[in-house]
Amino acid sequence: MTQRSNPLISVQGFFQHYSEIMATVVCAVLVFIGWICLQIGWVGLAFLALPIAYVIGGYGSAKDGLTTLVEEKQFDVNLLMIVAALGAAFLGVWKQNYSLIIDGGILILIFTLSGALESIAMKHTERNIEKSMQLIPDTVRVIDNQQEQQIQINQLKIGDVILIKPGEIIPTDAIILSGNSSINQAAITGESMPVDKTVGDQVFAGTLNGNGVLKLKVHQPPESSLIQRVIKLVEQAQTDAPPSQKFMEKFEHSYAKVIILTGLGLAIIPPLFLGWDWETTIYRALIFLVVASPSALLASIMPTLLSGIANGARHGILFKNGAQLEKIGRINAIAFDKTGTLTTGKLNIVDIIPMAGISETELLQLAVAVELVSEHPIGQAITQFAQEKNIPRITAVNVATQIGEGIIGKVDEDHIFVGKLEWIYQHNIYVSPELVEISDHLETDGKTVVWVAQNHQTLGLIAVTDTVRLEAKTLIKNLKKFGIEQVVMLTGDHQRTADSVAKQLNIDLVYANLLPEDKLTIIRQIKNRYPGVAMVGDGINDAPALALADVGIAMGGAGNDVALETADIVLMTDQLGKILKAIKLGRRANRVIKQNIAFSLLFIILLLIFNFLGLINMPMGIIGHEGSTLLVTLSGLRLLRN
């Protein structure tokens, strides 16, 4: 398999990436030449170099500013800078004070330099995306009629069988048909240790095969692979502005209008009514336009959030946009689904209790007949158990699932029900009191009980247990220490089973016997009590609650596709400890944003005071303004660190 390589794209990317730097360098050289020429009296050559410097350095800003003015009827920072630079140039020509032309050139130079440095800083996440793209091979080895052939990755179809040799990169998400190996998933999930995989396990595109030879079956299109979804979501996160950024951009337009009108007033009123000289007044008004510009304020937010998103992705935490990074830093209540979230979701059959006259094999046969099509962990556990015990299969028809309740189907002419006791009662099915008592004891021990009935008669029950995730107890403890005021568990299981798990994890508030709409109601109630609520889940029945919560968090490894699409944050591995990391990252991002905004405002105020006192000139104002912008950008990049 070969890696992606396109020289043309590489060359185009090079020029796109470095065009701002090249423009900055050329502008700097021309401004320097213009300054030298003025010092030695070569005014003609200076007047040739400096206009070119203005055009090369200011073209991008002028274009952006005029586009915003024409299309949106709004002023922005780019237009402020160009107006100030041109104003200095015209004032210099008018008064034959050529140093002012140099000042305007320096303004454009430093503004262009600042933009180039910001652009370089913001390329970090984009480079990570490109690296991820390079993880995917161009070609793949397909086995067809016992023959191997190389085809392009985009020619793969669902059902194709591909061969992966030791040390090769897996080209697409697939299921292992034969073989076993240790897979290095660090590039995708952030796991530092290789993961052992065997027949039936899923492997992900972009992961590295160890020493085993694997035959894989493609079960979804390559463009739907986990890595492709990650890439798309990170790209989306780069383009979707969070609420704070949108507010700041709206503020910019109104603020720019005020600054331009105030600048005009400062340039005209003092000479007309206070007797000030025109040159000094206009010069101070131009400096005012520069130092009052909100560039630093605008740079206070997005660099910080994008750095946080990149940091999270590196640790297996995928934020779908910057708004979610902000929000998770403000949560003070969190709700967890139980099965597959606080527990592993890998259920084991521990008790099979048939009624008199029914064998365990018959009970399992009927249960499996309807559960074969179920995606619920309990149904899959029953099916897997029966397969391991070599229980002969029988076929059910007209199978229908009632989410949160049970599943029903027909075997021959008999209706088979598998589900909760309350649901069994709803169908007017007789339930033995002795069996209810046994069920109560099983549930008291923390087991989940599934009832099996045929027509109007109970056939027996099956008890399963779920293993609590090892890190769940530590997470709950740390969340409380970290200031999360309320930790809640939501589950469709019986109250006793839920209480048993909650007791192990020290969760105080538990809601059981819940349907998806019930989880929605409870999340709504929690939101009425707490301003920031997160929901963590993995199943399709969690999707409504994930959507309603301020922040929805999905388990990426075992999560249902609907839950993954609905959630705001995806944990690429099923490591619950990443939730605390995400909260810390969110709080850190909010703290850095507040620091940046405070610093930006303070610097603007100080520069304005110095300008009115006549303590700074144009170059000093430019350096102060652009320096503060660069500082807050670099401050935001602190979130790239662990």
Q: Where are the beta strands (DSSP E) in 366-519?
A: 397-402, 406-411, 414-419, 448-454, 457-468, 486-490, 509-511
Q: State the SS3 of 192-240.
A: CCCEEECCCCEECCCCEECCCCEEEEECCCHHHCHHHHHHHHHHHHHHC
**Is the sign of the CA dihedral 466, 472, 474, 479 positive or negative?**
negative
Quote the CA–CA distance of 615 and 606 in Å, as a whole number: 11
Which one, of 544, 186, 328, 566, lies nearest residue 554 by Cα?
566
CA 552, 192, 169 angle in degrees (round to 5)?
95
Q: Checking DSSP bridges between strand 174-178 and strand 202-203, what pairing results, if any?
A: antiparallel
| Alpha helices in 354-458, H assignment, sequence order | 360-371, 377-388, 421-426, 433-444
Looking at this protein, which amino acid is placed at residue 225? S
Among all chains, which residue has been given the structure tokens 């409870």?
Answer: 522
Measure Cα distances from 5 to 13, 136, 137, 287, 337 in Å: 13, 11, 10, 49, 44
Q: Is 277 a catalytic residue?
A: no
Contacts of 311 (CB under 8 A, 6+ apart): 585, 639, 640, 641, 642
CA 465 to CA 442: how far, in whole Å? 10
Q: Quick one: DSSP state of residue 574?
A: S
Handedness of CA 307, 313, 318, 320 (dihedral sign): positive
Residue count of the chain: 642
Identify which of 547, 571, 574, 525 has the alpha carbon closest to the alpha carbon of residue 535. Answer: 547
138 DSSP 8-state letter: S
Cα(54)–Cα(27) distance, rounded to whole angstroms?
Answer: 7
Q: How far apart are alpha carbons 326 and 242 in whole angstroms?
A: 8
Phi, psi angles (nearest 5°) of residue 174: -160, 170
d(CA 542, CA 145): 43
DSSP letter, residue 320: S
Contact criterion met (CB below 8 Å) for 375 and 561: no
- Rounded to an integer, what is the distance from CA 464 to the centroid of its chain? 35
**By three-state DSSP, how is residue 341 classified?**
helix
Say if CB 519 and CB 526 are below 8 A apart: no
Phi, psi (deg, nearest 5) at residue 467: -90, 130
Catalytic residue among 103, 173, 337, 518: 337
User: Within a 13 Å sphere around the CA of 589, how many CA atoms are in the beta-carbon half?
Assistant: 31
Pull the structure tokens for residue 137: 């091979």
SS3 content of the chain, % helix, strand, coil (to 5): 55, 20, 25
Residues identified as active-site = 337
